[in-house]
Amino acid sequence: MTRPSAPSARSKVRRVRELARYDRSSINAILDEATVCHVGFVDDGQPFVIPTAIARIDDHAYIHGSRVSRMLQLLVAGNPACITVTLLDGIVVARSAFNSSMNYRSVVILGSGEKVIGEDKKIVLDAFTEHLIPGRTADIRASRPKELAATTVVRFSLDEASVKISEGPPSDEKSDYESDAWAGVIPLRLKSGKPQPDPRLKSSIPVPTYISKRKT
Ligand SMILES: Cc1cc2nc3c(=O)[nH]c(=O)nc-3n(C[C@H](O)[C@H](O)[C@H](O)COP(=O)(O)OP(=O)(O)OC[C@H]3O[C@@H](n4cnc5c(N)ncnc54)[C@H](O)[C@@H]3O)c2cc1C
């Protein structure tokens, strides 16, 4: 089966292109595991790359934040952006510093944002909560109109996105395989710790299962 090709010249992976993918299921899988992205944009000739939360619904990636955020104001004005998501899977310990690297899954999305308004905004904000803590929205009050008004939501199409996946053991120079230095992969994974109750939590409230059983 032939793999989908890059959706545009500027999103085509050139360096180590065999690690590239462009199919929607690879894009979705990485976005759905990520909680954080980095948003690149230019303000008055100066590039900025700002970390922020990300959630995906269907064919769009969403970011949100304060109505007065410089980043969000520039994005809703249609300024071009680049959103990057990185999942770090391991440190690749090769037999030389040159060939040592990282295992990762990353997505780069190019395009301009679109402001989300009306009922859709509530749906997206709930999706952010559910993305971080599945099951949470059923337990908490609905957002107040004032809170919704203070929040800007922007969406980006996934039509111009690329994936790069680096996995597996080190790839060393032929002669380096004789080396006595250890080589391999140190796996890395983001993992939830034990929940810490708020000091002001009513003592009668147990940790809900959706918190204690949260996967990462
Ligand atoms: C955790 C991590 C660590 C890395 N460490 C290094 C490092 O130390 N040195 C290094 O040179 N590279 C590293 N990379 C790879 C790096 O992201 C670039 O792919 C690489 O540097 C080539 O850059 P380029 O601009 O020449 O890419 P090109 O192949 O010219 O980029 C063309 C287009 O391909 C797409 N693209 C490029 N990179 C990615 C990507 N990672 N994911 C999805 N789409 C992409 C973009 O749309 C880009 O516009 C790392 C990546 C990750 C995720």
Tens place of pLDDT for every residue, the chain, 216 residues? 677 899 999 999 999 999 999 999 999 999 999 999 999 999 999 999 999 999 999 999 999 999 999 999 999 999 999 999 999 999 999 999 999 999 999 999 999 999 999 999 999 999 999 999 999 999 999 999 999 999 999 999 999 999 999 999 999 999 999 999 999 999 999 999 999 999 999 999 999 999 998 777
Predicted TM-score of the model (pTM): 0.96
Q: For 73, phi and psi rounded to 5 degrees?
A: -65, -40
Hey, whose CA ends up nearest to atom 47 of ligand 1?
11
Q: Is 170 helix (H, G, I), strand (E, B) or coil?
A: coil
In angstroms, the Cα distances linking 56 to 124, 157, 160, 168, 202 are 9, 10, 15, 28, 34
| String of DSSP letters for 25-49 | HHHHHHHHH-SEEEEEEEETTEEEE
Hey, whose CA ends up nearest to atom 34 of ligand 1?
13
pLDDT for position 37: 98
- Distance in Å, CA 69 to ligand 1 centroid: 28
| String of DSSP letters for 87-138 | EEEEEEE-SSTTT-EEEEEEEEEEEE-EE--THHHHHHHHHHHHHHSTT-GG
Those residues whose C-beta lies under 8 Å from the C-beta of residue 164, and which sit 6 or more positions away, are 13, 16, 19, 20, 21, 104, 105, 106, 108
Task: Return the closest-CA partner of residue 50 out of 13, 75, 30, 28.
Answer: 75
105 Cα nearest atom in ligand 1? 53
Q: Are 50 and 43 in contact (CB under 8 A)?
A: no
Ligand 1 shell residues, CB under 6 Å = 10-15, 86, 88, 102, 104, 106-108, 162-164
Hey, whose CA ends up nearest to atom 31 of ligand 1?
13
Domain ranges (residues) in the chain: 9-190
pLDDT for position 79: 98
pLDDT for position 1: 61
Hey, whose CA ends up nearest to atom 26 of ligand 1?
15
pLDDT for position 11: 98
Those residues whose C-beta lies under 8 Å from the C-beta of residue 140, and which sit 6 or more positions away, are 129
Q: Which CATH class is domain 9-190?
A: mainly beta
| Pocket residue to mutate for ligand 1, from 15, 85, 159, 160, most atoms within 8 A of Cβ | 15
48 beta partners: 41
pLDDT for position 171: 98
